[in-house]
Amino acid sequence: MKINHLGIAVKSLEESLKFYQETLGLSISGREIVADQGVEIAMLPIGESRVELLQAIDPSSPIARFIEKRGAGIHHICIEVDDIVAKLAEMKADGIQLIDEQPKPGAGGHLIAFVHPKSTAGVLIELVQKTEGDSLEY
Ligand code: ZN
Question: Could you give the CA distance from residue 98 to residue 78 in angstroms, rounded to a whole number?
Answer: 14
| CA of residue 56 to ligand 1 center, whole Å | 13
Ligand 1 centre distance from Cα of residue 93 (Å): 24
- Local confidence pLDDT in tens for the 138 residues of the chain: 899 999 999 999 999 999 999 999 999 999 999 988 899 999 999 998 999 999 999 999 999 999 999 999 999 999 999 999 999 999 999 999 999 999 998 888 899 999 999 999 999 999 999 876 665 666
Homologous superfamily (CATH) for 2-129: 2,3-Dihydroxybiphenyl 1,2-Dioxygenase, domain 1 (3.10.180.10)
CA 135 / ligand 1 centre spacing (Å): 15
Domain layout of the chain by residue ranges = 2-129
pTM of the model as a whole? 0.92
End-to-end CA distance of the chain: 17
95 CA distance to ligand 1 middle (Å): 23
